[in-house]
Every structure is written in structure tokens, then in C-alpha cells.
Chain A
């Protein structure tokens, strides 16, 4: 046993797969200990906030400022002028101010803006431009003017009785606050989703749930497949024919369609995480049965099985001690594949809205479903779905890698 485990970890494929999988497991175990927020707490009001650190504005205003002699306007220009706007500016300058495109550099926002300020005049004729375009340029000019302004921001206070507004505080453009000084802040490493929930916390919870679904589904499928395969293969005869008939029946009907029909027919209220896992397990056992059966058939006529029979061992004991250990490595591999396909099946089901109908728990598939139904993929809100895809891919990849590694160890034909 010890030797076998050592041998398994000599396989680079298995080791890499195992490390990835173990890292995901460790993440799901330890992340909730560090970040104790409810993963489904709706923090943000609105859809899909960008990843980043969010600090309270009112607190920032009241925090002791530091004066930094930085030219804020140039970084503001760099940040706020999009490439599209810069190209439009360059076009305009080229067309109406006669500046060749060689003299302009769209990556240098400051230089472009100073050219713009020198040449742009909204009152000029601008031949050949439609009115909407003209308005666009005048809007752009206003925006640039706003960005270049370095005047102080005034904070006003309204007197409750007289209704008069009086200046409470002026904030010069050179005043900065240290983010650490602001008490109220929240880091959304992966932004928020459509419900305003922290995607990272939600994702970790989802990985945990999906793994649970995969394990339950895989265990159910392997248990059913293994026992049917053992019985059919060892007993043979009419029992084998019957089990094979049932197995073929389930193989012919695509299990995913079966899955959809069952999920649909049990109704929304009964479709919890557990139920979905059980349904997936109940529809995916067929190939395990077939392969276990064929392995058992090749084993049952071996001499050691005959000897065990002659030693008066019962059927149950022969299956348990003379057949099962010989196919154990194979069953473990089958289990790993079943877990992986269980996780994928859940994701597929949830994507089309037939997964666990619940708002109390998140799964990888449900996250994809939510992101899709709020068009995250169309609006470029990548943080709502891309990390989910990566997680599914990583889980599936690591499990398959482990399986391939095991296969190379236990299948002598594949040994190098």
C-alpha cells in the first residue's frame, strides 16, 4: 500500500493534478475562515461593479488630507480619455486643423489635448460633419475642459432653518488621502455580480458546493455501476442478460436528456443541491457498469477465484476479496471521472436553468446562469463569469490529469 502510494506520486501527471485539486480544496476550506462574510450577502446596489478597492467617499472627505505636489490633470486625462475618443480627436485635428497624423501620438493624452485646445473651436464651420458629430466634439471639448480644471472642490452645508448654503470645506486638487486611513472600505478582488454580491467569496462557496455535488453524484454513480457490474459479470447467465439490458437501455437514451427531463419533472421546489446531485448520479452509472462487468468477466475464470471457490468461500466473500481488490484501482479511476463529469453535468444543467432552484446557495453552474441572464458576457463584465469558467476548467482538468496518471501506473500497456 505504502509502495503503491509512493509509486502514484512518482507520476508527474498525477502529482500536478493532485496539487491543483488539493489547492482548490484548501481554498474552499480556509477562505471562509479568513473571510467570514456571508457569500450571498448582497453588498452592492446595482449590477457588476468592477474589481477593485471601494472606499467610502464621505469618510474620505472627512479624513485628514495630505498635500502632494502632483499634476493630477495629466493622470486624469490618461485615465478618462478612451482610445476611441483620442482617435476621434486625432481625426478632427487632421481634417480641420491640417495637422498630419505623424505629429500626433494618441498614446500621449497630454500632448493631444494641448493640440486640441490650441486648434479646436466649436464655432468653426467643420464642413462635411453631420450635426450629431459636431455635438459629439463639443461634448468632448467640455469633458476635456472639465478634466483640465484644477479648481478646488467646495463642500457646502445647508442651514436647516434659513435654507442658506454655506461653504463648509474646500478641497484643493493637491490634497490626497491615504486609503489606509479610510476605515470603511471593501476590496472586491473579482468585483460584484448582478445581485451585488462579492464574486470571489461567492465563487469559493460555489466551488465547495459544486465539489460536493460532484462527490455525491460520483459516489452514487460508482456505487450503482460497481455493484451492478460485479453482479452481472460474476454471476453471468440470465442475471447478466437482464442487467446488461437495463444498462443498454440507459446508454441508448442520452443521459443528459434524461437528466433534463427528470430535473424538469420533479419541479422547482424539490430541486435542491442534494436532489440535483442524486439525479446526476442516477443517470450516469451506465459506463461504469459496462466496464466493471467486462473486467469481472475476465477475472471470474482465473485460477485464484476457482481456488477460492474450492476453499468454500461464499459468493459475497469471493466478490469482495478475490474480485474487488483486482479492479480497485480501476474503480478509483472511474470514481474520479464520475466526480469530474458530475461537476460538469451540474454546470450544464444550471446553465439552462434546470439546476438547483435555490437562492440560498451558489454553485458554479448557477453563477454562470446568473451572469448569462444578466448579459455579463455582452457587456464585458468578465469578472462575473470568467473566473467561474476557469474554476470549472481547473477542477475538471486536475481530476482528469489524476485519472490519466493513475491509468499510466495501473495499466501496464500504457507504461513507458
Chain B
């Protein structure tokens, strides 16, 4: 993969210094994310790798602005992020979007799936477009993810398979075309075949719109396969970061070595001693 990578552009689109999240207080204090620094560049695919409970999802929610930051500062497109108030948040979310881990819980089961896509068109300022135009846009988005809009329209989310739902989530991103996409383990709930398709679609999306993709995963093999740079997270801290080759081929931190060892390899005895 590394040979095919695009030249990385230098302008930073999302960066943070000393970002910290603490839940609870006093004795029950939990430091979920502990003073992390990062800098994600435009058009880059960044992976944040770590085991369960290492704070990846908390970090992603902070990046999305869904939960507040206890300490530290996040810069969005070079300027300190300001998302106080509903209007500013809405503006921010035009630039950053997400795909969640569980496609089955990502949809509101009481609404037809058309609504999800229509909301995206509305967010892009297309609320007043004629309905035919909207259908055309939705059909195009569905075609992009190999779905047929005619088959999906007027259906409820629970009538779809997990893979279809997740692809629909990508269709949503296609309609929104945000500058940054935060993909929080988008493939962990679906089978290996669908996983390849979905990853392929994400990469295609990146190629088309020069989107920055922040990929959150526990699968270091997957991260190596698609990323430009990798951040390794352990107990809320980044223990190692750098380009994908540097981190995977020459791991320095012990935790990284362990993660790499944990990847099961076909034709080889699986080393379970590290667990």
C-alpha cells in the first residue's frame, strides 16, 4: 500500500495539545485520555490503535465535540476550535463527521432510512431542492456504495443487513463530504468480506474528496494496511506515533511490539504468551 500513497499535504486540519478527559471526581476519578498531543494533516489517513479501554472512543468523541474536553486545546483547520452553542457546533459538524462501530444502533429505528440521507442533503443546504433532485442525489450516493436506492427507499433500518447499514453510513458521508471523517472501528461488527468492501469504499472516498480519515481500531494489521500515520494508544496516552512504516516495522515501545505480536498469522503458531 505504501507505494501508492499520495504525497501528504502539510496543512494541519486537526491538532491537539495536552488533550485530557477525566470522568468523575475525587476517589472515583478516571483519567480516560491523558494529555495527548497530535496533529492530523489534510488528506491523511491516520490510525489510532489501542486495546479496549485505552481511551480511543473517548478521544474520538472529544474530537467530534460530543463530549467536553477537560483540559487542553484542539485546533480545527489552524484555528482554536470554538464549538460553544448549537449554531457553531452545527457549523463544525459540517466539517467533521463520523461512522460508528455498531451499524445496528446507529440508526433511529422509528424512521425510514430516506430520512437519514435527506437530513444530510438538508445539512448541505439543499433543503429547498425539488424532490426529484434529492432522489437523484440519494441514488448517486447509494450507487457509490453499491446499494440500490430503489430497493432501500421506504424501508426501516432493521430491514437491512449490518453490511448494508454500514454502507449506508458511508453513503451519508458521501453526501456530506466533510473535511474530516472519524471512523470508530467501522468494520469490527461486520464479516471479513464486507469489511474489505467498506475499507475500499473509505479509501475511494478519500481519493475523491481528499478527505482526512481518522481511523480508530484495535486491529494493528488493518491500520498498517490503510494508514499514512499511526498513533498507538495505551491507558489514555499516546505511547508511539509516526508514519505507518516507522511504527510497525521498527516499533520502539514495548506495547507496540505486543500489539504486533498479537496479530494472528496463518501458517504460524499464535503466540498467546503476551496476553
List residues of A whose CB falls within 8 A of some B CB: 302-304, 306-315, 321-322, 325-326
From B86, B90, B105, A304 is in contact (CB under 8 Å) with B105
Interface of A is mostly: helix
Once the chains bind, are A315 and B86 in contact (CB under 8 Å)? yes
Given contacts A310-B64, A310-B93, contact A304 B107 (CB under 8 A): yes
Q: B residues within 8 A CB of A322? A: 108
Is residue B262 contacting chain A, with contact meaning CB distance below 8 A?
A: no
Query: Chain B 29-68 against A: per-residue CB contact (8 Å), 1 yes, 0 no?
Result: 0000000000000000000000000000000010010100
Name the CB-closest residue of A to B110: A325
Those 9 A-B pairs whose CB atoms lie nearest each other, nearest first: A303-B100, A325-B110, A312-B90, A311-B119, A303-B106, A303-B105, A304-B108, A312-B123, A310-B93
Q: What's the least CB distance linking A60 to chain B, in Å? A: 69
B108, A314: Cβ atoms under 8 Å? no
**Which among B86, B108, B120 is the interface contact of A308 at CB below 8 angstroms?**
B108
Cα of A306 to Cα of B102 in the assembled complex, Å = 12
- Residue B183 lies at the interface, judged by CB distance under 8 Å to chain A: no
Give the distance in Å from the alpha carbon of A321 to the alpha carbon of B106 in the complex.
14
Q: Are B108 and A312 in contact (CB under 8 A)?
A: no
Chain B min CB distance to A311 (Å)? 4
Inter-chain contact B120/A311, CB cutoff 8 Å: yes
Asked if residues A304 and B106 are in contact (CB atoms below 8 Å), the reply is: yes
The smallest C-beta distance from B57 to any residue of chain A, in angstroms, reads: 11
- Scoring B64, B89, B107, B110 by chain A CB atoms within 10 A of each residue's CB, the highest score goes to B110
Contacts of A308 in B (CB 8 A): 108
On chain B, the residues within 8 Å of A321 by CB distance are 108, 110-111
Whether B98 and A306, one on each chain, are in contact in the complex, defined by CB atoms closer than 8 angstroms, is yes
| Count class of interface residues, chain B | 20 to 34
Bound together, the chains give a CA A314 to CA B90 distance in angstroms of: 9
Report Cα–Cα, A97/B19, bound state, in Å: 111
Bound-state Cα–Cα, A41 to B121, Å: 67
Q: How far is the CA of A312 from the CA of B118 in the complex (A)?
A: 12
Q: How far is the CA of A322 from the CA of B119 in the complex (A)?
A: 14
> What is the interface of chain B mostly: helix, strand, loop, or mixed?
helix
The answer on a CB contact under 8 Å between A314 and B64 is: no
Residue among A306, A315, A321 facing the most chain B CB atoms (10 A cut-off): A306
CA distance A321 to B107 in the complex (A): 12
Asked whether B97 is an interface residue with its Cβ less than 8 Å from the other chain, the reply is: yes
Q: B123 to A311, Cβ gap below 8 A? A: yes
Give the A-B pair count, Cβ closer than 8 A. 51
Residues of B within 8 A of A304 (CB): 105-109
- The answer to whether residues A309 and B123 also contact, given A303-B100, A303-B105 and a CB cut-off of 8 A, is no
Most buried by B among A302, A307, A321, A322: A307
Closest chain B residue to A237 by CB distance? B68
Contacts of B108 in A (CB 8 A): 304, 308, 321-322, 325
Q: Which residues of chain B come closer than 8 Å to A311, judged between CB atoms?
A: 93, 116, 119-120, 123
Interfacial residues of chain B within 77-117, with CB under 8 A of chain A in the complex: 86, 89-90, 93-94, 97-98, 100-102, 105-111, 116
CB distance from B10 to the nearest CB of A (A): 28
**A303:B102 contact, CB within 8 angstroms:** yes
Specify which chain B residues have a CB less than 8 angstroms from the CB of A306 in the assembled complex.
61, 64, 66, 98, 100
Add 4 more A-B contacts to A303-B100, A304-B106, A307-B98 (CB < 8 A): A303-B101, A310-B64, A311-B93, A321-B111
Closest to B68 in A: A237
Q: How far is the CA of A303 from the CA of B182 in the complex (A)?
A: 14
- Chain B, Cβ-Cβ closest to A306: B66
- Residues of chain A within 8 A (CB-CB) of B89 are 309
Closest chain B residue to A310, Cβ basis: B93
What residue in chain B is nearest A325 (Cβ atoms)? B110
Shortest CB distance B9–A (Å): 25
B117 → A minimal CB distance (Å)? 10
Interface centre among A309, A322, A325 (most CB of B within 10 A): A309
Q: Which of A303, A308, A309 has the most CB of B within 10 A?
A: A303
Contacts of A315 in B (CB 8 A): 86
Interchain CB contact under 8 A, A307 and B93: no
When distances are taken between beta carbons in the complex, the residues of chain B under 8 Å from A312 are: 90, 93-94, 119, 122-123
| CB closest residue in chain B, given A322 | B108
Among residues of A, the one whose C-beta sits closest to the C-beta of B86 is A314
| Residue of A306, A308, A310, A314 contacting most chain B CB atoms (<10 Å) | A310
Cα A326 to Cα B107 in complex, Å, equals: 12
Q: Which of B97, B102, B105, B122 sits near A310, CB closer than 8 Å?
A: B97
Within the complex, the shortest CB–CB distance from A328 to chain B, in Å, comes to 9
Q: Distance in Å from the Cβ of B113 to the closest Cβ of chain A?
A: 12
- In the bound assembly, the distance between CA atoms of A316 and B25 in angstroms comes to 30
Q: Which residues of B contact A313 (CB under 8 A)?
A: 119
Q: How many angstroms between the C-alpha atoms of A73 and B56 in the bound complex? A: 99
A to B CB contacts below 8 Å, 23 in the list: A302-B105, A303-B102, A303-B106, A304-B106, A304-B107, A304-B108, A306-B98, A307-B100, A307-B106, A307-B116, A308-B108, A309-B66, A309-B89, A310-B66, A310-B93, A312-B90, A312-B93, A314-B86, A315-B86, A321-B108, A321-B110, A321-B111, A322-B108
